[in-house]
């Protein structure tokens, strides 16, 4: 534009001031028109055959009433509704003389939509209906005002531009969480006006979704944002004006990596969804909502399968009084990464955690989660935290994690409470964990093996009852066992035939017996064990079987269990070899892992392509005398037996 002005000045101004002014005005007008065209500010283009215009009353997409259709020359009364004319609708729609139009049925539109400039026209997406706009980003929707009722959904695949500063989108309130109006933005919404999100309404921003130019954002208590944009909240919602937000909920669900972006100050719930790796871009403060009826406590949650990288920032609560309940939850299967010099902590001062990357009022760290320390501090500290749920007595603190990874090249000092910190998965960088006096350093140890049933069998005593015997390798948090019986090999048909058999809860395991004397018919009986924990969790083992002949006969001791597993080894104790006897329901590779009582793997071997049925394998280990635990794994199933090598 400057070079045009310069040319006008040189060629005209020096000759005729009046002519200069006239030509300048004309050229500036043309340039402004071209600029307006470039920014999509022009009046709607001329209609084409098949285009629709909302002309009278309150037209609905499911009805022909109030609509005109262009025949290529003139507007004529429509004989079909837009929905009946095309689906998806690939022509244009113009807002004509009417002020309101309704999407009262599910409607997909791939053509362009035009509202007149500077007019307050309203499109309403009715409750329970979906209006999907845009075949791609080249589809243009020039809107004035859009209302999405509770339970309705507006999906934008194209480019939506407002016609003025009075334009806006309103997502109406719902009565249940996520029950309000929903806007799903997959590409671009460029608006000079407003976005109103009422209670329980939903905004979903896809990976490429951007809302920009918004002057005012009003978010009523409890509205939720789903953010998949890699740049996080501030990349998805690029407001140039005020954000009047009350108690927002943010759910990050991008894949694979996301930045949190600039998070609204009034956020009370943040969720890192399964599959998302979120890195904080700033401190996050959860706004306490204590006493708000029907709403959960402020929570920052990392779901199973998700990863949170705190970077150099903190998650905290805005209050520390006795009623504050802002919490952090790291679920089983989730991962937390932190370079914080003080790691993470469960230790509170008053009613708030005051050390490390997580400083909420409460924090729940799962023993099934993964923990990664990657700072460059000379003396990075793990922090003192308790994992949940407890697997010892419920009142005891638990120091157990799944994977533990130390990426800090300068090492990691463990909390002195960790005597030891057990890991049940993989330890990476264990050589970087500092050791020292127990009053300043914790210790690390692999948890040898979980609670496992290693043997379960049944036999008929030759008279009138079946004797069941089972053996465990170790037990914690075990309430006891129930015996189930059926005449069919289907656990769903089995009945409980015992009182609770109390558990020994011995770290060395135990041997149990039960006699089933309530037998009245000959035949084959199937038995299961139901293991019950203190917390009410149950696990079913079996079946095993016994052949019963009440009217005489001899004992029947089945050699084979009816499930894949390591049956026994013979002899035991042994020297120098023993037969490992196992059964396969299906053909499979068979893996054996041998552990000492410290939980260290000392031998491992795999037998490939083993057929189904009974097998024996002669094992001659090159090990010293002692007690070992053999873990058998095949076809997704495993069990463990204790063996004694006596040289």
Q: pLDDT per residue over 387-398, tens digit each? A: 986 444 344 567
Token reading at 114:
């035009």
Phi and psi, residue 34, nearest 5°: -65, -40
- The rounded mean pLDDT for the chain is 84
Residue with tokens 């009440």: 550
How far is C-alpha 326 from the geometric centre of its chain's CA atoms? Answer: 20
Residue pLDDT, tens place only, 522-538: 888 999 998 887 656 67
What pairing do the DSSP bridges indicate for beta strands 315-317 and 358-359?
parallel
> What six digits make up the tokens of 515?
């006699």
Residues 433-466: tens digit of each pLDDT: 987 787 888 988 776 444 567 778 888 877 778 8
pLDDT at position 558: 43
The helix (H) or strand (E) run that includes residue 26 is: helix 17-38
Phi (first) and psi of residue 565, to 5 degrees = 170, 165
| Residues 278 and 258: beta-carbon distance below 8 Å | yes
CA of residue 519 relative to chain centroid, distance:
50
Closest CA to 190 of 153, 240, 150: 240
pLDDT in tens, 32-73: 344 444 444 456 899 999 999 999 999 999 999 999 999 999
At residue 582, the pLDDT reads: 85
Shortest CA distance to 555 belongs to which of 464, 461, 465? 461
Q: Are 161 and 212 in contact (CB under 8 A)?
A: no
Note the pLDDT of residue 333.
93
At residue 28, the pLDDT reads 43
Q: What is the pLDDT of residue 544?
A: 87
Residue 32 is predicted with a pLDDT of 39
Q: Is 626 left (phi over 0), alpha (psi -120 to 50) or beta?
A: left
Write the secondary structure of 34-66 as one string of H (helix), E (strand) and C (coil). HHHHHCCCCCCCCCCCCCEEECCCCCECCCCCC
Pick from 349, 350, 352, 221: nearest CA to 289 = 221
Q: Of 526, 508, 529, nearest to 597 (Cα)?
A: 508
Q: In DSSP terms, which residues pair with 217 in a beta bridge?
A: 195, 243
Range with lowest mean pLDDT among 123-137, 310-324, 443-457, 535-549: 443-457
Cis peptide before 576 (omega within 30 of 0): yes
Lowest mean pLDDT among 139-148, 150-159, 550-559: 550-559
CA-nearest of 67, 34, 36, 63 to 50 is: 67
Instruction: Yes or no: say if 479 and 500 are a contact pair by the CB < 8 Å rule.
Output: yes
Do residues 635 and 613 lie in contact, with contact meaning Cβ atoms separated by under 8 Å? no
Edge-to-edge strands, sheet with 400-401:
400-401, 421-423, 444-446
pLDDT of 556:
44
The structure tokens listed for 291 are: 């006493």
Say yes or no to pLDDT of 26 above 50: no
φ and ψ at residue 131, rounded to 5 degrees:
-115, 110
β-bridge pairing 194-197 and 216-219 = parallel
As given in the structure block, the two tokens for residue 188 are 């671009």
213, 190 Cβ separation under 8 angstroms: yes
- Is pLDDT of 133 > 90? yes
Helices (H) and strands (E) in the chain, counts: 4, 61
Residue among 90, 89, 82, 86 at smallest CA distance from 55: 82
Q: How many CB atoms lie under 10 A from the CB of residue 627?
A: 13
* 357, pLDDT greater than 60: yes
pLDDT of 163-214, one tens digit each?
988 899 999 999 888 899 999 999 999 998 999 999 889 999 999 999 998 8
């Amino acid at each position: 534009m400057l070079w045009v002005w310069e040319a006008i000045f040189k060629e005209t101004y020096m000759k005729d001031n009046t002519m200069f002014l006239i030509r300048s005005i004309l050229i500036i007008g043309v340039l402004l028109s071209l600029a307006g065209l470039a920014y999509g500010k022009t009046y709607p283009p001329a209609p084409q055959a098949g285009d629709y215009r909302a002309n009278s009353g309150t037209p609905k997409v499911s009805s022909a009433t109030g609509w005109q259709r262009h025949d290529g020359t003139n507007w004529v009364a429509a004989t079909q509704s837009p929905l009946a004319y095309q689906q998806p609708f690939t022509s244009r729609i113009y807002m004509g003389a009417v002020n309101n139009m309704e999407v009262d049925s599910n409607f997909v539109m791939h053509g362009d939509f035009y509202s007149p400039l500077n007019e307050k026209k309203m499109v309403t997406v009715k409750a329970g209906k979906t209006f999907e706009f845009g075949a791609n980003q080249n589809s243009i929707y020039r809107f004035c005002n859009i209302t999405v009722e509770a339970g309705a959904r507006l999906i934008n695949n194209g480019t939506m531009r407002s016609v003025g500063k009075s334009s806006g989108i309103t997502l109406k309130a719902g009565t249940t969480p996520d029950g309000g109006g929903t806007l799903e933005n997959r590409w671009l919404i460029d608006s000079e006006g407003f976005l109103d999100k009422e209670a329980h309404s939903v905004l979903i921003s896809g990976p490429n979704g951007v809302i920009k130019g918004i002057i005012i954002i009003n978010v009523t208590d409890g509205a939720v944002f789903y953010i998949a944009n890699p740049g996080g909240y501030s990349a998805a919602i690029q407001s140039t004006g005020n954000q009047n937000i009350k108690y927002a909920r943010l759910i990050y669900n991008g894949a694979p990596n996301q930045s949190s972006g600039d998070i609204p100050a009034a956020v009370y719930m943040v969720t890192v969804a399964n599959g998302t790796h979120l890195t904080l871009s700033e401190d996050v403060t959860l706004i306490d909502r204590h006493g708000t009826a029907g709403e959960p406590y402020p929570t920052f949650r990392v779901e199973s399968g998700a990863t949170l990288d705190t970077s150099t920032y903190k998650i905290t609560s805005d209050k520390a009084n006795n009623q504050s309940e802002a919490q952090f939850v790291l679920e089983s299967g989730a991962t937390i990464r932190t370079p914080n010099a003080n790691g993470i902590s469960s230790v509170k001062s008053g009613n708030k955690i005051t050390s490390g990357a997580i400083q909420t009022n409460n924090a729940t760290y799962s023993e099934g989660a993964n923990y990664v320390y990657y700072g460059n501090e000379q003396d990075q500290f793990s922090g003192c935290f308790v994992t949940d749920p407890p697997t010892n007595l419920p009142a005891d603190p638990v120091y157990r994690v799944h994977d533990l990874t130390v990426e800090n090249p300068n090492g990691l000092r463990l909390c002195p409470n960790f005597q030891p910190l057990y890991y049940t998965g993989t330890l990476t960088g264990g050589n970087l964990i500092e050791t020292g006096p127990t009053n300043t350093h914790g210790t690390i140890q692999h948890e040898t093996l979980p609670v496992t049933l290693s043997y379960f069998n049944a036999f008929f005593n030759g008279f009138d009852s079946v004797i069941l015997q089972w053996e465990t390798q170790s037990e914690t948090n075990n309430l006891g066992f129930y015996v189930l019986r059926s005449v069919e090999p289907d656990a769903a048909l089995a009945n409980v035939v015992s009182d609770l058999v109390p558990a020994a809860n011995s770290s060395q395991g135990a041997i149990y017996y039960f006699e089933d004397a309530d037998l009245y018919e000959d035949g084959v009986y199937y038995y299961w064990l139901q293991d019950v924990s203190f917390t009410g969790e149950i696990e079913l083992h079996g079946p095993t079987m016994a052949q019963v002949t009440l009217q005489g006969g001899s004992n029947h001791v089945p050699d084979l269990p009816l499930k894949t597993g390591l049956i026994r080894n013979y002899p035991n104790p042994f020297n120098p070899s023993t037969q490992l006897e196992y059964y396969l329901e299906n053909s499979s590779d068979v893996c054996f892992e041998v552990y000492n009582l410290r939980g260290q793997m000392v031998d491992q071997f795999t037998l490939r392509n083993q057929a189904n049925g009974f097998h024996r394998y002669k094992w001659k280990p090159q090990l010293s005398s002692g007690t070992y635990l053999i873990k058998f794994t095949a076809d997704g199933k495993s069990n463990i037996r204790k063996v004694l090598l006596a040289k």
